[in-house]
Amino acid sequence: MKLGFSAAEEEFRAECADWLQGQMAGEFKDIKGITTLTAKAERRKEWEQQLAAHKWSCIGWPEKWGGRNATLAQQVIFAEEYARAGVPGRVNHIGIELAGPTILAFGTEEQKQRFLPGIAAGQTIFCQGFSEPGAGSDLASVRTKGRLENGEWVVNGQKIWTSLAHISDWIFVVTRTEEGSKGPKGLSFLMMDVKQPGIEIRGIKQINGDAEFNETFFTDARCPEDSMIGAVGQGWQIAMGLLAFERGVSTLGQQMAFRNELDEIIAAAKANGQAKNPLIRQRIAKAEIGLRLMRYGALRMLSNTDHSKIDGAALTYKIQWATWRRGLGELAMDVLGQAGELAHGSEYEWDVLPNLFLFSRSDTIYGGTNQIQRNLIAERGLGMPREPRGDL
Amino acid sequence: MDFRFSDDQLTLAEGVRDYLAGTHGPEVLRRLDEQGNRDPAIWQGLVDMGLTGLCVPEAQGGLGVGLPEAALIAAECGRACLAEPLVDTAFVGVPWLVAQGKLDGLEDVVAGTRRVPVAHAINPWEADGAGAALTSVDPLRNLTAAGQTSDDPHLLNLGALMSAAQLVGLADAMLHQAVEYAKIRTQFGQPVGAFQGLKHQLASCSVAIEFAKPVVWRAAQAMQDRLDSAPVHVSHAKVAASDAAMLTAETAIQVHGAMGYTYEVDLHFWMKRSWALCGAWGDRAYHLKRVDDAVLGGTLPIGPEHTFA
Ligand SMILES: Cc1cc2nc3c(=O)[nH]c(=O)nc-3n(C[C@H](O)[C@H](O)[C@H](O)COP(=O)(O)OP(=O)(O)OC[C@H]3O[C@@H](n4cnc5c(N)ncnc54)[C@H](O)[C@@H]3O)c2cc1C
């Protein structure tokens, strides 16, 4: 065991920090510190392009496609410095972390050429069309239909909870292309242009007043036949590959953002005297322990050069961070105490800590609920018998 | 010893529950939220039910009932997520005035034309007051900055007690919403409520709520009897009710999946009220400290020579 990052990695860290902090103090000062997902969307698209212009938009991708071939450790370092500099979340997170890697893993050369440059350049914003009103945890029960007609896929149905669809250019859609099929069989994975007459988007207001996610309706929406990633009927396999990206390594760098949030809570506790309260002190200490637990877990996973092993370990990571952060939201409210009842009307509707409380209610739901994660750990990880389920 | 409510008390509470269920459903909360939070007809309905006069002595035209009954009704107000500051005026303000012998003008409270401001130094704001508007995390509470505040501990205890009572009602309602949703939402070919992972969580909420309730009623009786230990009972009640409500809020959102994270599902009104009330009238840290001071500081008689009712 050899702890700590290498000298080269530390040098890389300094380079990231230098550039990101420079941006947040300079040209992109106006977006620094935004914590909601939708505020100043247009400026944040410009930020995506700025990242691209300096080759920071998709560092984990191969150089050929605009990346830097960065190692996992470097990707984590970048994500950490990104959070530390107070840069708001990526509006093209889904393009960079989910669509891109999926196309790289499963797409044809032609598809790579068609999609990757736009994503890398911050010109093509992607959203994720998985969930449907009837298909949440049970993703395999997707009903949105795709049929082939004159060299085009024609899609009808509805997706829901589509984050950022209203500012996206493209959507990847899990569709049922085999008439009468059930479950994971007969599904296919399509890339579709959002800005077409057959796709309609309606915002859904969230408990924090933000409308980050949407209902997405498909009425004879179209895409060329060769917009399918993988083969007809291979959609489930592609979707699972993508979910492994979503739940796994793409989140390993987020502890720095969590660090910022915990620091904010500690500062609030010092300011209002709760830092002297032994009960709050203990909970802060526990939160710190939880954070370090994730940190060391992540660092250990990173040391593993066999990526398939990382995915196995990452199985336990989603529930760990989601539950920790939901608890952090509650700690924030207990630190604020009665003052937490008042919203001070920040520029973005909610102050940082109350918004953390509200937003963290969803961490244990999206990307696979805590219950589903536990099922995966127990059934796939521990090999336990499956819970009886109804007929599909 | 009889740790039960009488039939009369229960009938009263049921009457209020039915009335609110019939006139103050979630659609009303949504209408209020869109149209400025208050509708005089709702207040008038509460007045007509006699609720503003519940704790006003009979000589002043009220019903003169005690704090345990008032707490029972406050729980119903929580269940309905009632936004009107009925509990503040009628179950906190009135008992506080009565305790001080300030009986003048209580007839106007019964008639619904007078509100009793209940601003305490610990939360220097009041609902529907005349001061500058403040924004509560609860979209239906109209908080205003208080001109004058009191630091009377009796007021604080009444406020905390009635918050605890509302919290158990809120928790009941959230549990109900989650259970009903778990029965109708199907995934993997069956209602999600059939999965043990959810069922057990909801059962745990039920345990927390059912054990919080007698603590609240015990505190109400202690306040009614003006026991020396009443403040500790109130703190116990506030903590137990807050914990039950927050656990239930968290679980109910989880059970609803992404639906639970929307403004369009009613749940968030209850969740935000719970959140607001957990912080009000002494937050968790405040009340836990009162309990631990009492237990370790000797104000609460404990030891083999004492029983602990
Ligand atoms: C903020 C946010 C953003 C999102 N963004 C996107 C997006 O961009 N694209 C997209 O496609 N989706 C998105 N989602 C949807 C997300 O993937 C789903 O919410 C999630 O998969 C759960 O599905 P559901 O909401 O339908 O809940 P349901 O599946 O209906 O679950 C309801 C409850 O039942 C439980 N449950 C279900 N099955 C089981 C079981 N077998 N055992 C035990 N318990 C079970 C669940 O854990 C949950 O508590 C987003 C969700 C949120 C909250």
Model pLDDT, residue A168:
97
User: Which range of residues forms the domain containing residue B43?
Assistant: 7-116
Residue A262 has pLDDT above 80, yes or no: yes
% of chain B exceeding 70 in pLDDT: 100
> Which DSSP helix (H) or strand (E) runs through B211?
helix B196-224
Residue A3 has pLDDT above 90, yes or no: no
CA of A163 vs chain B CAs: smallest distance (Å): 12
Rounded mean pLDDT, B189-216? 97
Indicate if B287 and B227 belong to the same structural domain. Answer: yes
Rounded mean pLDDT, B132-160? 93
Q: Which two tokens stand for residue A278?
A: 């032994």
CA of B51 vs chain A CAs: smallest distance (Å): 26
CA–CA distances in Å: residue B102 to residues A188, B62, B63, B91: 75, 14, 17, 15
Indicate if B165 and B110 belong to the same structural domain. Answer: no
Rounded to whole angstroms, the Cα distance separating B7 from B10 reads 5
Domain boundary among B116, B142, B176: B116
Residue A4 pLDDT class (50, 70, 90 cuts): confident
CB B168 within 8 A of CB B73: no
Q: Which residues of A are catalytic?
A: 246
Indicate if B199 and B280 belong to the same structural domain. Answer: yes
CA of B249 vs chain A CAs: smallest distance (Å): 10
Model pLDDT, residue A56:
97
Indicate if B161 and B51 belong to the same structural domain. Answer: no
Model pLDDT, residue A306:
65
Is A17 an interface residue toward B (CB < 8 Å)? no
Residue B239 pLDDT class (50, 70, 90 cuts): very high
Tokens 């509560």 sit on residue: B136
Indicate if B219 and B107 belong to the same structural domain. Answer: no
Q: Are strands B186-187 and B190-191 parallel, antiparallel or unpaired?
A: antiparallel
Centre of ligand 1 to C-alpha B19, Å, is 36
Indicate if B163 and B260 belong to the same structural domain. Answer: yes
Give this complex's ipTM. Answer: 0.93
B175 is a domain residue: yes
Residue A307 pLDDT class (50, 70, 90 cuts): low
Rounded mean pLDDT, B143-164? 95
Rounded mean pLDDT, B17-36? 95
Model pLDDT, residue A8:
95
Model pLDDT, residue B82:
97
Q: Which two tokens stand for residue B91?
A: 């179950």
Rounded mean pLDDT, A224-241? 96
Asked whether the whole model's pTM tops 0.90, one would answer yes
Is A272 an interface residue toward B (CB < 8 Å)? no
CB B38 within 8 A of CB B128: yes
B137 is a domain residue: no
Helical segments of chain A, H only: 7-25, 41-53, 72-84, 93, 100-106, 109-120, 235-247, 255-272, 278-303, 307-314, 317-336, 352-359, 370-375
Residue A233 pLDDT class (50, 70, 90 cuts): very high
Q: Which two tokens stand for residue A214?
A: 């949407």
B246 is a domain residue: yes
B167 is a domain residue: yes
B254 is a domain residue: yes
Model pLDDT, residue A348:
55
Residue B226 has pLDDT above 90, yes or no: yes
CB B222 within 8 A of CB B229: yes
CB A181 within 8 A of CB A151: no
Residue A196 pLDDT class (50, 70, 90 cuts): very high
Ranked by mean pLDDT, the top range of A80-89, A289-298, A338-347, B174-183 is: B174-183
Rounded to whole angstroms, the Cα distance separating B241 from B278 reads 8
Indicate if B110 and B197 belong to the same structural domain. Answer: no
Q: Between chains, do A341 and B136 touch, taking CB under 8 Å as contact?
A: yes
Model pLDDT, residue A349:
64
Residue A280 has pLDDT above 90, yes or no: yes
Tokens 């009986």 sit on residue: B103
Centre of ligand 1 to C-alpha A87, Å, is 28
Centre of ligand 1 to C-alpha B16, Å, is 37
Rounded to whole angstroms, the Cα distance separating A351 from A96 reads 29
Least confident range from A1-10, A187-196, B98-107: namely A1-10
Rounded to whole angstroms, the Cα distance separating B55 from A297 reads 58
Q: Which two tokens stand for residue B128?
A: 């529907």
B287 is a domain residue: yes
Contacts of B286 in chain A (CB under 8 A): 337
CB A52 within 8 A of CB A122: yes
Indicate if B99 and B172 belong to the same structural domain. Answer: no
- pLDDT tens for residues A61-95? 999 999 999 988 899 899 989 999 999 999 999 99
Residue B244 has pLDDT above 90, yes or no: yes
Which residue of B88, B163, B187 to mutate against A (max A Cβ within 10 Å)?
B187
Residue A309 pLDDT class (50, 70, 90 cuts): low
Model pLDDT, residue A39:
87
Q: Domain total for chain B?
A: 2
Best residue among B184, B192, B200 to mutate for probing ligand 1's pocket (most ligand atoms within 8 Å of CB) is B192
Which residue of B33, B134, B137, B295 to mutate against A (max A Cβ within 10 Å)?
B137
Q: What is the three-class DSSP state of B28?
A: helix
Indicate if B109 and B192 belong to the same structural domain. Answer: no
Rounded to whole angstroms, the Cα distance separating B259 from B182 reads 12
Q: Which two tokens stand for residue A75?
A: 């990707």
- pLDDT tens for residues A217-230? 999 999 999 999 99
CA–CA distances in Å: residue B50 to residues A9, A360, B46, B66: 73, 42, 7, 14
Residue A343 pLDDT class (50, 70, 90 cuts): confident
Model pLDDT, residue B301:
75
Least confident range from A133-147, B274-288, B290-304: namely B290-304
Q: Between chains, do A207 and B286 touch, taking CB under 8 Å as contact?
A: no
**CATH code (residue B173):** 1.20.140.10
CA dihedral A99, A105, A111, A112 (to 10 degrees): 80
- pLDDT tens for residues A147-157? 999 999 999 99
Rounded to whole angstroms, the Cα distance separating A211 from A226 reads 33
% of chain A exceeding 90 in pLDDT: 75
**CATH code (residue B35):** 1.10.540.10
| Closest atom of ligand 1 relative to the A127 alpha carbon | 8
Which residues does ligand 1 sit against, CB inside 6 Å? A 127-131, 136-137, 161-163, 213, 362, 365-366, 369, 371-372, 375; B 185, 187-188, 192, 195, 197-198, 254-255, 257-258, 261
Residue A54 has pLDDT above 80, yes or no: yes
The protein residue with its alpha carbon nearest to ligand 1, atom 53, reads B258
Of A339 and A47, the structure prediction assigns the larger pLDDT to: A47
CB neighbourhood size of A184 (10 A): 17
B132 is a domain residue: no
Model pLDDT, residue A225:
97
Model pLDDT, residue B180:
98
Indicate if B165 and B302 belong to the same structural domain. Answer: yes
Q: Between chains, do B135 and A387 touch, taking CB under 8 Å as contact?
A: no
Residue A347 has pLDDT above 90, yes or no: no
Indicate if B165 and B259 belong to the same structural domain. Answer: yes
Q: Which two tokens stand for residue A201?
A: 């988007």
Helix and strand numbers (H, E) in chain B are 12, 5
Indicate if B159 and B82 belong to the same structural domain. Answer: no
Mean model confidence pLDDT for chain B: 95
Rounded mean pLDDT, B191-209? 97
Q: Are strands B133-136 and B142-145 parallel, antiparallel or unpaired?
A: antiparallel
Domains, in order of start, for chain A? 7-91 (1.10.540.10), 126-232 (2.40.110.10), 247-381 (1.20.140.10)
Q: Which residues is A8 bridged to in the sheet?
A: none
Q: Which two tokens stand for residue B48?
A: 């007509």
B127 is a domain residue: no
| Rg of the Cα atoms in chain A | 21
Rounded mean pLDDT, A46-66? 96
Contacts of B272 in chain A (CB under 8 A): 207
Q: Between chains, do A277 and B125 touch, taking CB under 8 Å as contact?
A: no
% of chain A exceeding 70 in pLDDT: 95
